[in-house]
Structure 1
Amino acid sequence: MSIDTDASKEGSFRFPTAFTILFGLIILVAALTWIVPAGQYTRVQNAALNKEVPVAGTYAITDSAPQGIVEVFMAPIRGFYDPAAGTANAIDVALFVLVIGGFIGVVTATGAINAGIERAMRGLKGREKWMIPFLMALFAFGGTTYGMAEETLAFYMLLIPIMIAARYDAVTAVAIILLGAGVGVLGSTVNAFATVIASDAAGVPFTQGLVLRIVILGLSWLACVAYVMRYAERVRLDPTRSLVYDMKADNERHFLSTHHDGAEFTTTHKLVLALFALTFVVMVWGVLKGGWWMGEMSGLFLASAIVVGLIARTGEKNFTDAFVNGARDLLGVALIIGLARGIVVIMDAGKITDTILHWAEGAVAGLGKVAFINVMYWLQVLMSFFVPSSSGLAVLSMPIMAPVADFAGVGRDHVVTAYQSANGVVNLINPTFAVVMGALAIGRVPYERWLRFMWPLLVILTVIIMASLSVATVIA
C-alpha cells in the first residue's frame, strides 16, 4: 500500500497536529462539564492503597462546576504544575524528557552512536528482523512487571536510528517500544501500578486470575510481534509502503540515519556506549529496587551526560551546545505531556469523572455472566480515555465495579483483568496518554498515521481479550 503524496500539496486537507488534537479535547471536555451532571462518591481512606477510594452506593449529585474559557487556557498550565494535584503533575515527566534529550544530544555529538550502529548493522546483516521480537520481549517484561511507560521515552531516540539503519522506518521503531511495553501492561501479571492496586481495591489477592492474564499476555504479544514484523518486512522490501514515506522530504530522519559508512569505532566510542548502556541498566534498577521516579532518573541522565562529556573530552562549550540542542529537540514532547494532562485537570475540576463512573455502574446491572464481563470491558475502555493512568483508573473504578460482579456471579479477578486489558489497549492509541503522544512526537509520526497503522491490530487484540474473558468466565 503506497501513500498518496498529494495529501501534502498546498490546499489539501492536513490532519491536525498533536497539539491541536489535545487542545481540542480540552475544549470538548470543558463543554461536557456544561452538559454532564456534576456528581461525587463519598471517599474513604484505604490503608492498603494509601489512597482515598470511592464507596459504592454513595453517588450523589453535587453543585455543577462548568469549565469556561479561563479554565480551558489554564488547563495546560495546571497540567504541568497544580499545587492542589499533589503528585499528579506532569512537570517532573516533562523535565525528565528534556534531560533525556540533552543526554542523547551529548552522546550523539561524540559520534559513538553513529559508529556503534554501523558496527551493529554489519554484525546483524541478514538477521536484523530478529531484533524485533527480542526487543519487544524486553519491553513487554518491563510492562508486565512494573508498568513500564514514561521510562520508555528514553529509548526512542536510540532505537529510531537503529531501525532506520536496518532499512525499516520510524513507525517500526515506535511500534517496538510502544507496543512492546504496552502489551506488557495490557497483560500485567505482577504490575504494582495496575494489577496489584486493582486487586487490592477489588478485595482479592493479585495472584487470583494470574493464569488468565498470562494467556492474554502471551497471545497478545505474539499478535503484536507478528504484526510489527510483517509491517517492517514490507517497508524493508519497498520503502514506499511505509506510512511515513511521503514525509521523507520534510524529515529525512524517517529514512536516513545520521551515521556514516566507514566510521571508525574507537576506544572512546566503546567507553561512551558502555556508559550509555549502564545508565539505562541503573535506571531500571533504581525504579525496581530503589524507589526512584522522575527526579532521580533525571539526575542520573544529567550525571551520565557530564561523565560522557569528560570521557570524550568535548570541552565545556561543545558539551553545553550539544546538551541544549538535544533538549531543544524534545521541547515539543515536553509541551505535549503537559497538554495531555490538562484534559484530566478539566474533568476533575468539572466534577464529571464520578458521574461517568456512576453511569457505568448502572450499565452492567442485571446482565448475565458473559454479557457482564464484555460490557465491563467496554466500559473500562470508555473510562480509560478519560482516566489514562492505570493506577488512577484502578483506584477510581474497582471499589465500585468489582462489588457489582458479585450480583452477576462473576469473579472479581475477572473484573480486574477486564480493567487492565481495556486500559492497556486504549493506551496504545490514547491521545490523552502523554506517553503515546510523546512517543509519536519523538518519532515524528503523525497521530493519524499511527491510528492507520494500529486499527487492524486493535481489532485482533480486542478479539483475543474478549474471547479470553468470555471463556474464563464460563469455565470459572
Structure 2
Amino acid sequence: MTTDSEIPEERRFRFPTAFTILFGLIVVVAALTWVIPAGQYERVQNAALNREVPVAGTYAVTEAAPQGIFDVIIAPIGGFYNPATNVANAIDVALFVLVIGGFIGVVTATGAINAGIERAMTKLHGREKWMIPLLMALFAFGGTTYGMAEETLAFYMLLIPIMIAARYDAVTAVAIILLGAGVGVLGSTVNAFATVIASDAAGVPFTQGLVLRLVILGLTWLACVAYVMRYAEKVRLDPSKSLVYDMKSDNEKHFLSTHHEGTAFTTTHKFVLAIFGLTFIVMIWGVLKGGWWMGEMSGLFLASAIVVGFVARTGEKNFTDTFVNGARDLLGVALIIGLARGIVVVMDAGKITDTILHWTELSVAGLGKVAFINVMYWLQVLLSFFVPSSSGLAVLSMPIMAPVADFAGVSRSLVVTAYQSANGLVNLINPTFAVVMGALAIGRVPYERWLRFMWPLLVILTVIIMASLSIATIIA
C-alpha cells in the first residue's frame, strides 16, 4: 500500500495559493452576474455621511450587465485603480505595503532588530507568554476605537521574528495582530468606520447599545486570548504541533529563531530602534488626530527609512538596494490586495450587489424578535463576504435593514450590533478582505492552515455573539 510519504511531491494535492483562490472567486462572482438578476436601489445623498445611501423600498430590476472574460481579466486592475470611474481603490494600500517593506528592509539591514529581539528575550525569559494578552489588548483597543485594519500590516514584520525568537511560530504572531484588531472591530464601541457610520445610517445615536457591545468585546477578547495562548504554549513545548512546522525548511526564519546569543547591542542599534518605535507612534497619532491615511503613512515610513539610513551610515547604494529588496519581499502582498478588491469591482459592475441586499431584506420579514435578530446576524455574515469593508457595508445595508427592525419590534441599535459583529467575525477569515490575505502572505501562513487554526474559535465566537444578541433582544 502506498503511503503519503511515498507519493511523489508533484502528485500530492496542494491547496491553491491565495492568488488562485482570489482569482477563482472573481470568476465565480462573474458567473453569478449571468444568473442573479441585476437591480438597484434609488440613492440619496446623506449629508452627515457625505455619501449616497440606498432608499428602502425602492429596489427595481435593471438591465442585466453580465461580466465576461475581459471583465474578469481587468478586475484585478480595477481593484487597484478603476479607470472607468477614475476612483482609487487599493493602490494606496498596495503602495503603503511596498514602502513598509522597504522601511523594514533598511532597519533589518542595520542589525538593530535582531539585537533588540535578543535583548528583549533575555529580559522576558520565562514570561514571554504574557506578551500575548498585552499585545492583543493594544490591538483590540485600536480596533474598537478607530477600526484598526490596514494599519496593522506594518506590525507583522516586527512581531513575527519576536514570536519566533520566543519559540512560538508565525501563526501565533499573525493571530495576535489579526485577532487582536479584528475582535476589537467585532466589538466596536466608538469606531467611526463601523459603529458611528452604521448608527447614523440607521437613525440612532451611536451610544445606544454601547453596553451590549462592551459585553461582546470583553467576552470575545477573552475567548481569543485564551485560544491563542493555548496554541502558542503547545507550539513552545512541542514545535511539531505548529500548523506550519512542515514549512520550516522552506523559510526557516518564519519558524524558529536562527540568531545566536551574544550579538552586541550598540548605541547605533538603540538609535535605530528608537526611530523605529517613534515611527509607529507618529503613525497612530496621525491616524487618530491628524486625519492621515495611506498617503501620509507611506510618506512617514519613507522619511523614517531615510533617517535610519543616515543614522546607521548605510551608504547610498546599500540604502537603495536594501529598500528595494525589502519592497520586493512584499510585492506579492501588494498584488493580493488589488486582487481581493477586484471581486467587489465585478459585483458592482454586474449590478448584483443591490439584488443580494434586496433578498436579505425580504428574508427577515414576519419573523419573531429573537429569530429576527439572529437571522439578521447571519444575513450580515453573508453580506460581509461580498462587502468586506465595514463602512461600505454599513452605508449599503443599514438604510435598508434598520427600518425593517421597526416592524419586528426590535431596536435598531441591535441591528447595528448584529451588523458589526457579523462583519468583524467574517473579516477574521474573509478571503475577499485584503487585510486577511495580506497578513497571511506576510506571515507565509497558507490560507487553509489559517482556516484550520480558526474554525474552532469561529464556533466559540459565534455562540457568544448569538447568545448576547438573543439575551439583549429578550430583555430589551
**TM class by smaller structure:** over 0.9
Structure 2 equivalent of residue 243 of structure 1: 243
Task: Report the Cα distance in structure 2 between the residues aligned to 1:256 and 1:423, rounded to whole angstroms.
Answer: 34
Letter in 2 for 1:426: V
**Do 1:7 and 1:14's aligned partners in 2 also have CA atoms closer than 8 Å?**
no
Letter in 1 for 2:352: I
- CA displacement at 1:294 relative to structure 2: 0.2
Instruction: Establish whether residue 231 from structure 1 lines up as the match of residue 244 from structure 2.
Output: no
For residues 7 and 88 of structure 1, do their structure 2 counterparts lie closer, same or farther at Cα, with a shift above 3 Å needed? farther
For residues 7 and 442 of structure 1, do their structure 2 counterparts lie closer, same or farther at Cα, with a shift above 3 Å needed? farther
- CA displacement at 1:353 relative to structure 2: 0.2
**Do 1:5 and 1:246's aligned partners in 2 also have CA atoms closer than 8 Å?**
no
Task: Report the Cα distance in structure 1 between the residues aligned to 2:267 and 2:6, rounded to whole angstroms.
Answer: 48
What SS does the aligned partner of 1:19 have? helix
**Do 2:252 and 2:258's aligned partners in 1 also have CA atoms closer than 8 Å?**
no
Structure 2 equivalent of residue 103 of structure 1: 103
Structure 1 equivalent of residue 378 of structure 2: 378
For residues 275 and 87 of structure 1, do their structure 2 counterparts lie closer, same or farther at Cα, with a shift above 3 Å needed? farther
Structure 1 range deviating more: 242-251 or 55-64: 242-251
**Do 1:153 and 1:439's aligned partners in 2 also have CA atoms closer than 8 Å?**
yes
- CA displacement at 1:248 relative to structure 2: 1.1
Instruction: Establish whether residue 427 from structure 1 lines up as the match of residue 427 from structure 2.
Output: yes
Structure 1 equivalent of residue 11 of structure 2: 11
Letter in 1 for 2:278: L
Structure 2 equivalent of residue 121 of structure 1: 121
What SS does the aligned partner of 1:10 have? helix
**Do 1:145 and 1:192's aligned partners in 2 also have CA atoms closer than 8 Å?**
yes
Task: Report the Cα distance in structure 1 between the residues aligned to 2:39 and 2:6, rounded to whole angstroms.
Answer: 49
Q: Deviations over 1:104-153 (max 9, x none)?
A: 00000000000000000000000000000000000000000000000000
Structure 2 equivalent of residue 436 of structure 1: 436
Structure 1 equivalent of residue 369 of structure 2: 369
Structure 1 equivalent of residue 79 of structure 2: 79
Q: Deviations over 1:333-364 (max 9, x none)?
A: 00000000000000000000000000000000
User: RMSD of aligned C-alpha atoms?
Assistant: 1.1
Structure 2 equivalent of residue 195 of structure 1: 195
Task: Report the Cα distance in structure 2 between the residues aligned to 1:451 and 1:283, rounded to whole angstroms.
Answer: 31
For structure 2, list consecutive stretches of 5 or more residues without a partner in the other structure: none
- CA displacement at 1:249 relative to structure 2: 1.2
Letter in 2 for 1:144: T
Task: Report the Cα distance in structure 1 between the residues aligned to 2:122 and 2:229, rounded to whole angstroms.
Answer: 20
Instruction: Establish whether residue 311 from structure 1 lines up as the match of residue 282 from structure 2.
Output: no
Letter in 1 for 2:120: A
Structure 1 equivalent of residue 389 of structure 2: 389
Structure 1 equivalent of residue 169 of structure 2: 169
Amino-acid identity (%): 88
- CA displacement at 1:84 relative to structure 2: 4.7
Instruction: Establish whether residue 64 from structure 1 lines up as the match of residue 64 from structure 2.
Output: yes
Task: Report the Cα distance in structure 2 between the residues aligned to 1:91 and 1:7, rounded to whole angstroms.
Answer: 42
Task: Report the Cα distance in structure 1 between the residues aligned to 2:27 and 2:307, rounded to whole angstroms.
Answer: 45
What SS does the aligned partner of 1:44 have? strand
For residues 364 and 455 of structure 1, do their structure 2 counterparts lie closer, same or farther at Cα, with a shift above 3 Å needed? same
Structure 2 equivalent of residue 52 of structure 1: 52
Letter in 1 for 2:175: A
Structure 1 equivalent of residue 405 of structure 2: 405
Structure 2 equivalent of residue 136 of structure 1: 136
Instruction: Establish whether residue 24 from structure 1 lines up as the match of residue 24 from structure 2.
Output: yes
Q: Deviations over 1:145-202 (max 9, x none)?
A: 0000000000000000000000000000000000000000000000000000000000
**Do 1:77 and 1:338's aligned partners in 2 also have CA atoms closer than 8 Å?**
yes
Letter in 1 for 2:55: V
Structure 1 equivalent of residue 150 of structure 2: 150
- CA displacement at 1:82 relative to structure 2: 1.0
- CA displacement at 1:261 relative to structure 2: 1.7
Task: Report the Cα distance in structure 2 between the residues aligned to 1:249 and 1:5, rounded to whole angstroms.
Answer: 16
Instruction: Establish whether residue 359 from structure 1 lines up as the match of residue 359 from structure 2.
Output: yes
Instruction: Establish whether residue 334 from structure 1 lines up as the match of residue 327 from structure 2.
Output: no
**Do 2:102 and 2:322's aligned partners in 1 also have CA atoms closer than 8 Å?**
yes
- CA displacement at 1:5 relative to structure 2: 7.2
**Do 1:7 and 1:13's aligned partners in 2 also have CA atoms closer than 8 Å?**
no
For residues 86 and 197 of structure 1, do their structure 2 counterparts lie closer, same or farther at Cα, with a shift above 3 Å needed? farther
- CA displacement at 1:306 relative to structure 2: 0.1
Task: Report the Cα distance in structure 1 between the residues aligned to 2:380 and 2:369, rounded to whole angstroms.
Answer: 17
- CA displacement at 1:259 relative to structure 2: 3.2
Task: Report the Cα distance in structure 2 between the residues aligned to 1:427 and 1:84, rounded to whole angstroms.
Answer: 28
Structure 1 range deviating more: 56-65 or 79-88: 79-88
- CA displacement at 1:316 relative to structure 2: 0.5
**Do 1:30 and 1:72's aligned partners in 2 also have CA atoms closer than 8 Å?**
yes
**Do 1:37 and 1:64's aligned partners in 2 also have CA atoms closer than 8 Å?**
yes
Structure 1 equivalent of residue 472 of structure 2: 472
What SS does the aligned partner of 2:256 have? coil
**Normalization by structure 2: what TM-score?**
0.98
Q: Which runs of structure 2 are paired with 1:209-358 in the superposition (5 Å)?
A: 209-358=209-358
For structure 1, list consecutive stretches of 5 or more residues without a partner in the other structure: none
Task: Report the Cα distance in structure 2 between the residues aligned to 1:260 and 1:385, rounded to whole angstroms.
Answer: 44
Task: Report the Cα distance in structure 2 between the residues aligned to 1:8 and 1:181, rounded to whole angstroms.
Answer: 41
Q: Deviations over 1:365-388 (max 9, x none)?
A: 000000000000000000000000
Task: Report the Cα distance in structure 2 between the residues aligned to 1:255 and 1:355, rounded to whole angstroms.
Answer: 45
Equivalent residue pairs, number: 473
What SS does the aligned partner of 2:11 have? coil
Task: Report the Cα distance in structure 2 between the residues aligned to 1:448 and 1:382, rounded to whole angstroms.
Answer: 20
Task: Report the Cα distance in structure 2 between the residues aligned to 1:89 and 1:231, rounded to whole angstroms.
Answer: 36
**Do 2:167 and 2:257's aligned partners in 1 also have CA atoms closer than 8 Å?**
no
Task: Report the Cα distance in structure 1 between the residues aligned to 2:348 and 2:84, rounded to whole angstroms.
Answer: 11
**Do 2:185 and 2:191's aligned partners in 1 also have CA atoms closer than 8 Å?**
yes
The 4+ residue runs of structure 1 with deviation greater than 6 A are 4-8
- CA displacement at 1:253 relative to structure 2: 2.0
**Do 1:160 and 1:443's aligned partners in 2 also have CA atoms closer than 8 Å?**
yes
**Do 2:102 and 2:325's aligned partners in 1 also have CA atoms closer than 8 Å?**
yes
For residues 45 and 7 of structure 1, do their structure 2 counterparts lie closer, same or farther at Cα, with a shift above 3 Å needed? farther
Task: Report the Cα distance in structure 2 between the residues aligned to 1:327 and 1:10, rounded to whole angstroms.
Answer: 31
For residues 87 and 199 of structure 1, do their structure 2 counterparts lie closer, same or farther at Cα, with a shift above 3 Å needed? farther
What SS does the aligned partner of 1:52 have? strand
